[in-house]
Structure 1
Amino acid sequence: MRLKIQGGALKGSKKSAFTLIELLVVIAII
C-alpha cells in the first residue's frame, strides 16, 4: 500500500490526491 501511495505521489499531485482519498475511505471503512 505504501509503495503504491508513494508511486502515485511521484506520478502526479492529482493521482496522489486520489490515493489520499482512497486511504481516507479505507480508514473510514475500518
Structure 2
Amino acid sequence: MLNTLTKKVSNRKGFTLIELIVVIAIIAILA
C-alpha cells in the first residue's frame, strides 16, 4: 500500500484531472 501511495504522490501532477473527475463523480453519486 505504501508503494502505491508514494507512486500516486510522485505522479500527482498527472493525477490532478483524474482526481477531479473522481471527486466530481463521488459528489454526483452522493447528491
TM-score when scaled to structure 1? 0.54
- In structure 2, runs of 5+ residues without a counterpart are 1-8
**Higher alpha-carbon Rg:** 2
Q: Deviations over 1:2-29 (max 9, x none)?
A: xxxxx47x721x3110000000000000
Give the structure 1 partner of residue 28 of structure 2: 28
Aligned residue pairs, count: 22
Higher relative contact order, chain-length normalized (CA < 8 Å, sep 6+): 1
